[in-house]
Amino acid sequence: MSDSKLKKASLAVLGAIVFASDKFSTVAEMVEDRASATKFPEAVKHFKALEVLREELAPVARAFPLDSPALKEAAQKEGAIVKTVHFVRHGQGVHNLAALTSVNKCDCKNPGNPPVCPYVQPEVKDARLTELGESQATALQERAAQCGATLVVVSPLQRALQTAHLAFLKADPRPPFQALEDAREQIGAHVCDCRRPIADAKAQFPYVCFDGLAEGEDPLWTTAREPKTGVAARAQNVVRWLRTRPEENIAVVCHSSFLLTLFNIALDCSPDPTLYEWFETGEMRSVAVVW
């Protein structure tokens, strides 16, 4: 199977599509092969976990590429609500760099003494962007300025806030920024996903609205990793919340595992299965969401 055909195949339809291919006999084999070719081979475990959830949870909306021929028909259905949403993964964080350069992998399920997982080291707490990550966020400025978003929804974690700040720096007028706790990365165990006190974030990003977020230390933090069911519930909540907003063109700046879950569980992306794929750092993916 060629790379172009693989790109058209969903990484996460996961059992709903039968591949007529000599190379892969099962979707799981295709997922593993595709993930091993990415810069983040561990992605395969995320896809496999989502395979189970797809059998239990129904999507709450559909997603279409903005130029999809099927979008017009879906938008014309009685009662349909359509919004343009620009989903952005943050630029490279210091935790991403640590994972890329470390000989150690995540050992959180069976931690050593001391743990060697690069995501639990104190220096990556509420991970900031690397120099490359700042460049990736800055590279989005032209697209961000032209996308027409009238609201920027952002995870309260530092790397997402930095990315949103840099990406929308040249938008004129600058849209309002709203921090949303539900848009965070998978919570727990990995200190890179433990947020700072909101007072610190407010001082760094005074124009961001943090209304509704608890002050003080991270109230959601736990030493146990949040189950995928929890991430999926938050992803569904975010998609439902977007439906209630008056804005029709919205940007959402957040994280890889959360975005993967949102696109594979909360959204039905079958009109274009490439939408199910993993987000690279600094990637913007613009879609029409139809409820």
Burial class (CB in 10 A: 0-12, 13-18, 19+), 254: buried
Alpha-helical (H) ranges within the chain are 3-8, 27-36, 43-54, 69-75, 94-101, 131-138, 141-146, 158-167, 198-204, 228-244, 256-261
Q: Identify the H or E element spanning 57.
A: none
Q: How far is 68 from 288, CA to CA, in rounded Å?
A: 9
Distance (Å, whole) CA 192 – CA 269: 29
- Give the active site residue among 46, 90, 165, 190: 90
In what helix (H) or strand (E) does residue 169 lie, and over which residues does it extend? none
Catalytic residue flag (residue 255): no
Q: Please indicate whether residue 185 is annotated as part of the active site.
A: yes
Local structure of residue 232 (DSSP, 8 states):
H
Rounded Cα distance, 91 and 89, in Å: 7
d(CA 13, CA 39) in angstroms, rounded, equals 21
Chain position carrying tokens 């964080």: 93
Of 148, 155, 183, 210, nearest to 266 (Cα)?
183
Residue 270 token pair:
């079958």
Q: Which of 185, 226, 247, 277 is catalytic?
A: 185
Q: Which residue has the tokens 């079958």?
A: 270
CA distance to 23, 26, 39, 141, per residue, from 35 (Å): 15, 15, 8, 29
Give the residue numbers annotated as catalytic, written as ranges: 90, 185
